[in-house]
Chains A and B, each alone.
Chain A
Amino acid sequence: MRKKQSTATYYKNPALQESIIRYYKEKQLNFVVKHSNYNTQIIGTESTLKFIQTEHPIRVFIAYNKIVKDLKESPKTVEILQGEWSTNNFDSRNGLKPAFYKKILNLDISSAYPYCLWINKLITQDTFNYLMNMPKTERLPAIGMIAKKSVWITYTGGKAEEWELKEGFYTNIFFYVIQQITDLMSWAAEIAGDSFLFYWVDGIFLKPTISKKKLDEITGIFAEQGYYFKYEKVENCNIVRDGDKLLINMIKNGEEKPYQMYDRNLARNFTKVLQALENA
């Protein structure tokens, strides 16, 4: 009969983790280190030490299991799993200049990921309702767990002998959701034209001078696609450029929010010019 291992749980502490691994290595033990976004586990023959970053309540795992159950039954899952989806979920206006805006307009899609799963018939109404009754801080990890990824390093006699990357079976579904929202944002950006500043995940930031007609068109598309949206109050938006990096600071709903992103347009412009020169 397999001996039951004892498990001890601690909050993430890289220094402690490192010293334990070093100790196991010196003692030439057999053990496995598992790293993931949420925790690091040192699995020995006698015991398992778990270092967690955040402790999630049980309902987060229940929600995740409900999503997985629905994905197994959804007729669209197989098709989406076979596709290739981009995970780039931010972009800025081509040629965005460093500037300071006293006020800017922010349109945020409400609960973008649960809605996207539901609109695309990947989860049932029951799971959707369950997700929507959870606070945002729990809803995001529950959905994010679809894309769980972990690295397993196996130590034999204190030496790292092999490693393996394990990905969740439904990771591609999460990437699909990201791309759906990004496509919606880039569609809105195209309509906004010169009034577009940047978008980040499910929120688009626009100049306050945007015409009402364009704004109506954007909100019309959000509504037509089945999403709800809200206007957020954004003040003192400062955009600074450092080469191909954009550093953006703002006060959103009274809280300071920093953003840092690569300006992907720079590489795109350069490639375009080079290609045109080669074809000339």
Chain B
Amino acid sequence: MAKKKTQQYQDRKYNYPKGFTKYGKSKTGFMPAAQGAKVFVTNNFDQIKKGTIPFDSLTQREKRVYRGKNNPTFENLYRYGDKSYYDPTRSLRKILDNDPNLKGKRDLTNFLKPEDFKNLFDQKLNPTKYADGTNSTLFDFKKGDKKGFYRDESGTLLDIVTKLNKIKRSGRNIRVIDTKGVTHKGVKAIDVMRKFESDKLMEAMNAAKEGDRIQLQIVYLSTDYNPFTNTVTYNLNNVQVNDLNNTP
């Protein structure tokens, strides 16, 4: 019996766009498929999105490029210099797309001053940029429901008290400097941290109505690990409390 032949995947042939030059010479022949698919999808992105160019008519490679470009993480991921920045509010994309000169732009290196870009991202768009499972708690639940914590994209539970208990079990020492400047150690330190968080949460819950979503983030900006004494220190005097429902 003849062996069934698997269908060979075929790329489209891409001509170089008019005026495309490299090293001062006009390009002849066809573009490499990987480059061609990117150029094709980039140039026809809006038509594919609208359906003027049917998604099914794309080659597998083009579909893959399109999916990448069309996903929210990609759309809201910006570059400045050699670093990437993510805009969780997704508002910058809408603002930039309203300006024909800035539509679709993701590399903002030559569009904003370094200090303005930093200000924009750290203050306006992503004030929680530095928050992660090791230095923050994020409560996320509806008032009236059981108190819940948020898990980030990697699945890490953003609950610092649970994290501290784990850290303690792993053999590290815990130090917490409270709002009066008093240093607490061990189990007492974790209790102080829990009390601090529950006070902040109580304030947010009192301000909310029944059924309102509470997204309260507490970021411990001053965290430190001393490898010589194997001690982790959290300072409750340098804390950023964000009501994410009201963050732009």
Contacts and interface: CB of A to CB of B under 8 A. Distances in A.
B53 interface: no
Contacts of B21: 209
Interface string B99-123: 1011001000011111010001000
Given A209-B21, A276-B95, A270 B113 contact: yes
Contact of A276 (B24, B98, B101, B110): B98
B39 interface: no
A280 interface: yes
A102 B22 CA distance: 12
B227 interface: no
A272 B99 contact: yes
A225 interface: no
A266 B91 contact: no
Interface string A235-274: 0000001011000000000000000000101110110111
Contacts of A243: 113-114
B181 interface: no
A269 B91 contact: no
B114 A269 contact: no
Interface in B19-38: 19, 21, 24
A234 to B, nearest CB: 15
B124 interface: yes
Given A266-B116, A269-B102, A272-B99, A277 B124 contact: yes
A277 B111 contact: no
A91 B152 CA distance: 44
A244 B95 contact: no
Contacts, number: 52
Nearest to B91: A280
A276 B125 CA distance: 12
Contact of A96 (B95, B99, B110): B110
A111 B95 CA distance: 41
Contacts of B105: 95
A94 interface: yes
A33 B75 CA distance: 61
A74 to B, nearest CB: 38
B120 A270 contact: yes
- Of the listed residues B24, B92, B101, B248, the one surrounded by the most CB atoms of chain A closer than 10 A to its CB is B101
A267 B115 CA distance: 11
Contacts of B96: 273
B102 A209 contact: no
Interface in B55-80: none
B248 A280 contact: yes
A166 interface: no
Contacts of B113: 243-244, 266-267, 270
Contacts of B19: 209, 211
Contact of A94 (B92, B95, B111, B114): B111
A22 interface: no
9 contacts: A94-B102, A94-B111, A95-B102, A95-B105, A241-B110, A266-B112, A266-B116, A269-B102, A270-B112
Closest A-B pairs by Cβ, 5 of them: A276-B95, A270-B116, A95-B110, A209-B19, A94-B101
Given A95-B110, A266-B112, 19 more contacts: A94-B101, A94-B111, A95-B101, A95-B102, A209-B21, A211-B19, A243-B113, A243-B114, A266-B111, A266-B113, A269-B102, A269-B111, A272-B99, A273-B112, A273-B120, A276-B95, A277-B95, A277-B248, A280-B248
